[in-house]
Structure 1
Amino acid sequence: MFAEGYIGIAGTIGVGKSTLTTDLARALNFEPILEEVDGNPYLDSFYSDMKGYGTMMQVWLLNHRFRQHREFVTRISLGKIRGVVQDRTIWEDTIFARMLNAHPDKIISDLDYNTYLDLFDNMVLRELVFPQLLIYLDIKPETAITRIHSRGRAMEQSITLDYLTALMKNYEQFIQEMEGAGVRVLRLDWENFRSVSDVARLVHEYSLKPSSFTKWVRPLRRAPVTIKPVAANVNV
């Protein structure tokens, strides 16, 4: 139900997940599992036709992360690697799919969204294991948008403060549901970056705490926090 040696890094767009993933993996002698921002074949099409490609975008992400997850869990179980630190877990994908469905323009239709959730249930809830520890990086929306603008990715420049505010409220709900399922969650205030040695110390401390697995969860089953009718954004 839990995979020893599997640490997930969760947090909103622009919080600094990739940097911590790389640094923490090096400190723990684990392997970093990073998001492949440039590897999604639907990304450009999605931004030119969101309603036309929104569903397939999320299905591609789900399938990609599912394959990635099974591969690294197998490698851990066979002793080929000590463990992994993953930049955004597969459970977080449901946050973005739900928000696209709740968008005033229905980027993902109700029919497509329910089909997506059925696929998620069959693939993820039946097959995959939770991380040994989920690290949640918490920042203010204003800080996130400043960091987004600083890193200068062209595809992210349309992200609004309203969107990030809604996204972060949905993340808080997601974290509460994961905690309710018994997943160990380490919440870190990431307004100011902390040293990787400090985070590694906390990881060791939290990993020794007993887990209390109670149930599989499909995160964000309740009504999501919606946003004003502006351009939608994807989980990058």
Structure 2
Amino acid sequence: MDKPFIAIEGPIGVGKSSLAHKLSQSYHFYEAKEIVGENPFLSDFYEDISKWSFQTEMFFLCHRYKDYQDLGTKHQGIVADYHIYKNKIFAKNTLSPQEFDKFSRIYTILTEDLKMPDYIVFLDADLFRLKERIKTRNRDFEIHIEDDYLLNLKADYLAYYESLRDSGHHVLRIDTTHLDFVNNPTDYETILAQINTLIGGQALE
């Protein structure tokens, strides 16, 4: 792959897929989309997290592993609406310590030779805005998501961003609480300018 691989990350409802789609059009990149609804355990998971968490997380991990394998063969720019590391963020919030330890070891084995994103854009928003966006997209399996779960995800994504930033990785964090980059061209151009700076104009060459 000889052009940038950009991943968009952040908590549920923050707008990852919408931004990834718009970026793929602006840059003429391949758009890698996560297919959440294909997980057969997801509805049960949100109704009883402790009971269905390991099955849910393992399904997502295997599915995303295969997707990232395929992305490694692309010879064009890529923008994905997720980073495979999100598996560990979500698993940390749902699995018991023993299950998380087992999951982490499987994750390490599966991902050790995968091509990882060159740049990661972290989106965030306040709790009210996240809940508003989740409600707007009207996915049945998301109606049971609790506030504490979203707040924990927000905190873990922030911690992950800060750890990458402090390690010198190419990351960018954008608070979208007061931005509507889907319907407001000015807001989108503001975000696009920040991402152009992040990737050093590589996508425009």
Normalised TM-score (structure 1)? 0.75
**Structure 1: which amino acid aligns with 2:156?**
N
Q: 1:198 aligns with which of 175, 178, 190?
A: 190
Q: State the distance in 1 between where 2:56 and 2:194 align.
A: 35
Q: Cα 1:5–1:49, aligned 2, differ >3 Å: closer, same or farther?
A: same
Structure 1 segment 47-126 matched on structure 2, within 5 A: 47=46, 50-76=49-75, 82-100=76-94, 108-124=95-111, 126=112
The Cα of 1:180 is off from its aligned counterpart by 2.9
Q: Runs of 5+ in structure 1 lacking a partner? A: 77-81, 101-107, 210-236
CA pair 3-171 structure 1, distance change in 2 beyond 3 A: farther
1:53: how far off?
2.7
Q: Structure 2 matches for 1:182-221, cutoff 5 A?
A: 182-191=168-177, 192-194=179-181, 195-208=187-200
Greater helix share, structure number: 2
| SS of equivalent to 1:75 | coil
CA contact (8 A) 1:3 1:129 kept: no
After superposition, the C-alpha distances for 1:153-209 in whole angstroms (9 at most, x for unaligned) are 111112222222222111111111222333211111211124434333322221129
Tell me the SS of whatever aligns to 1:127: coil
> Deviation per CA, 1:84-105, whole angstroms, max 9, x where unpaired?
11111101111110011xxxxx
Give the aligned partner of residue 46 of structure 1. 45
Q: Secondary structure at the match of 2:4?
A: strand
SS at match of 1:131: coil
Report the CA distance between 1:49 and its aligned residue. Answer: 5.1
Quote the residue 2:156 is aligned against.
170
Percent of aligned pairs with the same residue? 27
- Name the SS for the 1:85 alignment partner: strand
| Contact kept? 1:14, 1:144, Cα under 8 Å | yes
Per the normalisation by structure 2, the TM-score is: 0.86
Displacement over 4 Å in runs of 4+: none
Secondary structure (helix, strand or coil) at the match of 1:13 reads coil
Rounded to whole Å, the distance in 1 between the matches of 2:35 and 2:47 is 20
| CA–CA distance in structure 2, aligned partners of residues 147 and 48 of structure 1 | 20
Report the alpha carbon displacement of residue 112 of structure 1 after superposing the two structures with TM.
Answer: 2.0
Is the 8 Å Cα contact of residues 46 and 145 (structure 2) preserved in structure 1? no
Partner of residue 104, structure 1: none
The answer to which of 66-75 and 193-202 deviates more is 193-202
Distance 1:29 1:145 in 2: 31
1:207-228 Cα deviation digits (max 9, x unpaired): 129xxxxxxxxxxxxxxxxxxx
One-letter code of the match for 2:109?
A: N
Q: Structure 2: where are the runs of 5+ without partners? A: 182-186
Matched-pair contact (CA < 8 Å) for 1:3–1:73: no
Residue in structure 2 matched with residue 150 of structure 1 by the alignment:
136
The alignment partner of 1:159 has SS state of coil
